[in-house]
Structure 1
Amino acid sequence: MGKPVILAVDDDVSVLEAVIQDLRRKYGATYRIMRAASGQAALDTCSQLQQRGDAVALFLSDQRMPGMSGVDFLEKAQTLYPAAKRALLTAYADTEAAIKAINTAKIHYYLTKPWDPPEEQLYPVLDDLLEGWNEQYKPPFEGLRVIGPRWSLQDYQVRDFLSRNQVPYVWLDPERDSEAVDLMQRFKLDDSKLPALLFSDGSSLVQPSQTELAERVGLSTHAAKDFYDLVVVGAGPAGLAAAVYGASEGLRTLVVEPEAPGGQAGSSSRIENYLGFPSGLSGADLARRAYVQASRFGAEFLTQRVGMIRADNQYRLACLSDGREVSSHVCLISTGVNYRRLDAPGIDRLTGLGVYYGAALVEARSCKDEEVFIVGGANSAGQAAMHFSKYAGKVTMLVRGDSLENSMSKYLINQIAETSNIRVEVHSQVLEAIGGSRLESLRIGNSEGECVRPASAVFIFIGAAPSTDWLPASVMRDPNGFVLSGPDLQVEGKYPRIWKEERAPYLLETSMPGVFVAGDVRHGSVKRAASAVGEGSIAVQFMHQYLARF
């Protein structure tokens, strides 16, 4: 689709030429300036523009024209382009008729001829009209389309991956959107080939793997070099902070992240206690800002998964899931944590089909006017409840404890209490998820017994656990899997002594020299985004101390 159109109409050739010249001089860079010598010719042009899918921003028509007056034309044009602004050019003697036309033909403005100088008599009026049109105008989406049913795990995973990587797309559900059915016929798709991605160049991708999806939307899946100064494993707040400070201080930095920058914090709908943002910001916005900042300093991002870290003399090697290895002087483990799985019948089977872990923000609009359940009582659960309350008819929080006081920030507790469609039920837990091809109801236990309640979606926030099984035994962890570092490696009698260096380990250094840890995956960390950012930042300073020894 081309630029929006400004259409000028006048039967006087000299006047029309003057109008066109003035319009092109001011608006030609942003709008396509077109002309017509009569009302009927202008209507024919409008029909052609409609067939091509072009938008008209403004009609500027003379009043006195043979066959069809300017007012008559603007009335007819309104049925074709109701959102377009309509202005009438009149002689001074016609001003009374123009004023009446503002009411009868819903004309937005009239201008008297001549309009010299246009900088004073023409442009200010048209600027206001065009500004108003642009505020309301939503251009047709011409980018990526995702076709898939709501109750499909793979469709949810595709949409979640795109959203968290901030790839713009439009989702079309064949059960709700007629456009989806038309596109499926055009691209010869059936239900067995969903989800399908349709690109603006006419190509498509059917049921893609995450690697295929990442490559197709332009994410890097292969490291540009074999060696880096610093390899960061995980792009949550800690990893992003390390990337910013490492790259800005001259370290050749590679960040390896299998899903999307931001980690668990990136899926937070609103962070309101982050320093420097009094109005709050979303986790996605925080991740986007940090990603751009690190990239500007030269950090490289790789959509891959690290399967092992090993030492080779003074080098540290990260083994990627595609079988390749990248080596570095130092490495940072900042893989964060994952939400704990809820152990109840039906939960695993219905995951992605109405049962979700974390905020699952891509599902928010789908929950319009429905009742959704939030399981958990910490900040992440509270943020999700506030976000879903904007869409769902009712949000019910199921909390095992006595209240929210011991697990949630005060500002969130106050917001929840002031939100009329959020209900908090204490001493409550999910005992079973019930449904066939999708979640239909929940069996809930509380202090009064058990009950079965209808449910279309449940979002689970019941604590977090690190995914550190991929680390070698030489990287020490506590019994819960969190990575030990610094002084914790030297606590007498508590953990096996495997630190072999003559020097003491640096504060965030793991039991494998040259490998550091930061963020929620670290034993003893404070589970806050700001704390993770601080750890990722200071880890780089300890890396410099480590590197200075060689």
Structure 2
Amino acid sequence: MAKPVILAVDDDPNVLEAVVQDLRRKYGAEYRVLRAGSGQAGLDISRQLQERGDAVALYLSDQRMPGMSGVEFLERAQTLYPEARRALLTAYADTEAAIRAINSARIHYYLTKPWDPPEQQFYPVIDDLLVSWKQGYRPPFEGLKVIGPRWTLMDHQVRDFLSRNQVPYLWLDPERDEQATQLLRKHALDDRKLPVVIFPDGSSMAQPDLHSLAEKVGLRTQAKAEYYDVVVVGAGPAGLGAAVYAASEGLSTLILEPEAPGGQAGSSSRIENYLGFPSGITGADLARRAHTQATRFGAEFLTQRASGLRAEGQYRFIQMADGREVSCRVCLLALGVRYRKLDAPGIESLTGKGVYYGAALVEARSCSDEDVYIVGGANSAGQAAMHFSKFARRVTMLVRGDSLESSMSKYLIDQIAATSNIEVETHTRVVEARGEERLTSLRLETPQGEETREASALFIFIGAAPQTDWLPPAILRDMNGFVLTGPDLRLQGSLPESWKEDRDPFLLETSMSGVFAAGDVRHGSVKRAATAVGEGAIAVQFVHQYLARY
């Protein structure tokens, strides 16, 4: 972004040169110092700066100029840059006129010529004027801009993807922001093909798929090598924990993650029972720190989805969604889980249009002064309720059971009870979501019977569903799709026929030797972030034992 401008105006070339030199000597590193030889020239320069979107911080104008006085110039410049500071340069004889101009033309200050030394007579005044301007100045955002209506699934997916990958962006809703319309017109973009992502170099992508968007914003989508010691599938807490320990212990490590580091925990607004963070930490911040830590040790991250897994001898091959493959000696499945779908009319068609799975923190500020509903009674639902209570008029938690005690940590229960705009309704479920273009109301089944309530946002946190359909039959799972490991592989007292090794599986090893599982995707795991990190770290120890044998 161009530096803010200080514009000096004087018809005397010698005086103007002296003013400019003094300004550049003190402020040239932070500001562009421009000059104009008349009031009209100053206005012309100001209009050109305005067209380019540049900022003017300060006007310094001589009072006695032919054609247009300094006061007149500053009055007219105010219409172009009303927030710029305005100072008048006067001779001693003009001080009374300058004082009157402060009142009539709202000039901020006047300076008498000459000043010497500037360190005492000039710079302190300019410092005060620039500090005053900075306090109210908001520089234009020059990063990514996402233009899309709030109530569309693709717009939500794009914003959620960028947010969770720590990519700064400015979101503009064309239904509410005039700037969105201006940008679409400026870049000759079709307002029927939203969302649109506009990049700092002026290029754009309309209705982008997330893989292409990942490449454009600089996320790695192709592996540097064809072979790794360890490939970790999934970058939730378990995958990140494994990545840190594997890479720090000298194993070449690749992590595949189709969305963003952190997994389900990454969308938590605040985790307060994680060891070492007495004030709590957001899931996104925890994921960012772990990602940085693993990268520092040499782990490589790819924004890719795994779509297949096969074994050939002592090597394991992971196929990715783009058709490429990577090979490794050991594969660790840290796939995590997704929230189960809520089976009720209207839910599917309104997903992304007021109905969301998980915390969807990118929607929080959009829910300002609205009524938000949350389905679920576990920690993730409680954390979301506390976060949304900072923005929403009212947050209502819909719980099918008797209370929160059986499924939520006590510290969250106490916080919810102490928050005035959170209500917990037990024995209540969603029967139907209603709305055409977006969610407008919910039909609920309550202890008092069915009732309909207005609603603009529904966030769903019900149960866990592993994403393991893509795994080969050789990797055994329970009836719900969770991966069986270690002792759990002894079905009816014996190991499965597919197990060909002359040893028992390691504790976290699956029914395919050399493939391990950790975290929420594993059958019998404890669904907590700290436990998942621990399993990821433990899995690396078994990886070393496996590699020592083969």
TM-score normalised by the chain length of structure 1: 0.89
Which residue in 2 is equivalent to 1:472? 472
Would you say the 8 A contact 1:244–1:290 is kept in 2? Answer: yes
Does residue 332 (structure 1) correspond to residue 332 (structure 2)? The answer is: yes
Would you say the 8 A contact 2:444–2:452 is kept in 1? Answer: yes
Percent identity between the two aligned chains: 74
> Alignment RMSD, CA only?
3.1
Which residue in 2 is equivalent to 1:225? 225
* Stretch deviating more after TM superposition (156-165 or 491-500): 491-500
Letter in 1 for 2:414: N
Which residue in 1 is equivalent to 2:449? 449
Structure 2, gaps ≥5 residues long: none
1:271-420 aligned at under 5 Å gives the runs 271-420=271-420
Quick one: distance in 2 between partners of 1:80 and 1:188?
A: 26
Aligned CA distance change for structure 1 residues 24 and 241 (closer, same or farther; 3 Å):
farther
1:269-296 Cα deviation digits (max 9, x unpaired): 2233333444433322322333333333
Aligned CA distance change for structure 1 residues 19 and 403 (closer, same or farther; 3 Å):
farther
Would you say the 8 A contact 1:378–1:408 is kept in 2? Answer: yes
Structure 1, gaps ≥5 residues long: none
Q: Give the CA deviation at 1:441.
A: 1.5
Aligned CA distance change for structure 1 residues 67 and 340 (closer, same or farther; 3 Å):
same
* Stretch deviating more after TM superposition (54-63 or 484-493): 484-493
* Stretch deviating more after TM superposition (320-329 or 443-452): 320-329
Q: Give the CA deviation at 1:445.
A: 0.7
Quick one: distance in 2 between partners of 1:192 and 1:89?
A: 53
Quick one: distance in 2 between partners of 1:529 and 1:9?
A: 62
Quick one: distance in 2 between partners of 1:376 and 1:63?
A: 69
1:106-142 Cα deviation digits (max 9, x unpaired): 5555566665555565555544543453443222334
Would you say the 8 A contact 1:489–1:497 is kept in 2? Answer: no
TM-score normalised by the chain length of structure 2: 0.89
1:420-459 aligned at under 5 Å gives the runs 420-459=420-459
Which residue in 1 is equivalent to 2:199? 199
Which residue in 2 is equivalent to 1:43? 43
* Stretch deviating more after TM superposition (127-136 or 491-500): 491-500
Letter in 2 for 1:296: R
Which residue in 1 is equivalent to 2:141? 141
Paired residues, number: 550
1:273-322 Cα deviation digits (max 9, x unpaired): 33344443332232233333333333222222112222222211112122
Q: Give the CA deviation at 1:385.
A: 1.9
Aligned CA distance change for structure 1 residues 426 and 13 (closer, same or farther; 3 Å):
same
Aligned CA distance change for structure 1 residues 473 and 70 (closer, same or farther; 3 Å):
same
Which residue in 2 is equivalent to 1:538? 538
Which residue in 2 is equivalent to 1:269? 269
Would you say the 8 A contact 2:496–2:511 is kept in 1? Answer: no
* Stretch deviating more after TM superposition (358-367 or 103-112): 103-112
1:66-145 aligned at under 5 Å gives the runs 70=70, 73-88=73-88, 105-108=105-108, 116-118=116-118, 122-123=122-123, 126-127=126-127, 129-145=129-145
Helix, strand or coil for the counterpart of 2:519? coil
Quick one: distance in 2 between partners of 1:16 and 1:471?
A: 75
1:346-373 Cα deviation digits (max 9, x unpaired): 2122222221111122222332322221
1:84-104 Cα deviation digits (max 9, x unpaired): 234455667877876776666
Quick one: distance in 2 between partners of 1:140 and 1:280?
A: 32
Aligned CA distance change for structure 1 residues 304 and 121 (closer, same or farther; 3 Å):
same
Which residue in 2 is equivalent to 1:461? 461
* Stretch deviating more after TM superposition (502-511 or 243-252): 502-511
* Stretch deviating more after TM superposition (164-173 or 377-386): 164-173
Aligned CA distance change for structure 1 residues 128 and 530 (closer, same or farther; 3 Å):
farther
Aligned CA distance change for structure 1 residues 91 and 423 (closer, same or farther; 3 Å):
farther
Would you say the 8 A contact 1:344–1:433 is kept in 2? Answer: yes
* Stretch deviating more after TM superposition (321-330 or 34-43): 34-43
Which residue in 2 is equivalent to 1:30? 30
Quick one: distance in 1 between partners of 2:97 and 2:332?
A: 75
Would you say the 8 A contact 1:489–1:499 is kept in 2? Answer: no
Which residue in 2 is equivalent to 1:18? 18
Which residue in 2 is equivalent to 1:256? 256
Quick one: distance in 2 between partners of 1:470 and 1:314?
A: 21
* Stretch deviating more after TM superposition (343-352 or 185-194): 185-194
1:480-495 aligned at under 5 Å gives the runs 480-489=480-489, 493=493
Quick one: distance in 2 between partners of 1:277 and 1:61?
A: 55
1:127-169 Cα deviation digits (max 9, x unpaired): 4543453443222334433333333222322222222223333
Letter in 1 for 2:431: L
1:120-199 aligned at under 5 Å gives the runs 122-123=122-123, 126-127=126-127, 129-184=129-184, 190=190, 192-199=192-199
Would you say the 8 A contact 1:378–1:404 is kept in 2? Answer: yes
Quick one: distance in 1 between partners of 2:494 and 2:93?
A: 97
Aligned CA distance change for structure 1 residues 465 and 18 (closer, same or farther; 3 Å):
same
